[in-house]
Copies of this chain bind each other. A is one copy, B any other.
Amino acid sequence: MPAATVPAIRFRRLLLTGAAGGLGREMRGRLRAHCETLRVSDCAPLDAASDGEETAVVGLEDAAAVAELLKDVDAVIHLGAVSVEQPWEAILPANIIGAYNLYEAARRNGVKRILFASSNHVTGFYRQDQVIDSRDPVRPDGLYGLSKAFGENLAQLYWDRHGIETVSVRIGSAFTEPKDRRMLATWMSYDDTERLFVAALTAPVVGHTVIYGMSDNATTWWDNRHARHVGYRPQDSSEQFRAAVEARQPVLDPSDPAVVFQGGVFVRTGPFE
């Protein structure tokens, strides 16, 4: 059952990229209610289209295919990208060239609103005892975070220059439940994710807004006060999982960079040998 009790149809056609990924599969089912037609894409195989759906297997590095993909679309939820730390050879085509292709396709097709799935790893090198907001300078924790910072700046450019609005959501940890102690701070439930995505797509005016994607967790490192115009009010909290998580995972070693910094293990893993 969808979390938001909004009128069923807001958009004629929504495009969801990255629909074969973990979050993409979850959102595919939920976004169906918010449009007449849901177009879903991925570079990987997709489940067959159900009623009211269209599917397309498209690599984001293929500019012509992406241009085609955005035809007759009202708005885009752009989850498609490499979503973990990977070598440059993987990040570059999907997350940098792919993001450019997507915004160029939006410009050429007259798409005026995009939800860009950014990441908390854009600011992963702030410490876990710092509370930051969306205007603090970025401090990416790896090539993945770096590529997401690129995407946010691209969104800013296409807003300032071409009037395409974007909400860049710096997603924390969108899973069924928090898997470890770090996620007590970063977790965003699927219901809250849907709430945030719908708010971002339907808020009357967003320009380019950056917002952290998290539930109403007791512990947080992120202050969303500059984005309250989006109308996102999380209703879930990681707190219900705290006892179980703390019982399951040993006390953390505060000398481990993965504990000190907000990016967690991303700050010490990845392609740098």
Contact = CB atoms under 8 A, between A and B. Distances in A.
A141 interface: yes
Contacts of A146: 150, 153-154, 157
Interface in A17-63: none
Interface in A168-196: 181-182, 184-185
A6 interface: yes
Contact of A129 (B88, B150, B205): B205
Contacts of A138: 153, 156
Contacts of A7: 243, 246-247
A127 B204 CA distance: 11
Contacts of A184: 231
Nearest to A96: B96
A1 interface: no
A209 B182 CA distance: 18
A219 B209 contact: no
Contacts of A246: 6-7, 202
Contacts of A125: 156-157, 160-161
A127 B209 CA distance: 12
A231 B218 contact: yes
A82 interface: no
Number of copies: 6
A267 interface: yes
A107 B143 CA distance: 14
Nearest to A252: B204
Nearest to A136: B135
A220 to B, nearest CB: 5
Contact of A128 (B97, B181, B204, B219): B204
29 contacts: A5-B243, A6-B243, A88-B100, A88-B104, A107-B272, A112-B254, A125-B156, A127-B207, A128-B204, A129-B205, A129-B229, A135-B137, A138-B153, A139-B160, A140-B157, A141-B161, A142-B161, A143-B157, A146-B154, A146-B157, A149-B150, A161-B272, A182-B204, A202-B246, A205-B254, A218-B231, A218-B232, A219-B229, A220-B228
Nearest 3 A/B pairs, CB to CB: A219-B231, A125-B160, A128-B205
Interface of A: 5-7, 10, 88, 92, 96-97, 100, 104, 107, 112, 125, 127-131, 135-143, 145-146, 149-150, 153-154, 156-157, 160-162, 165, 181-182, 184-185, 199, 202-207, 209, 218-221, 223, 225-233, 239, 242-243, 246-247, 251-252, 254, 259-260, 267, 272
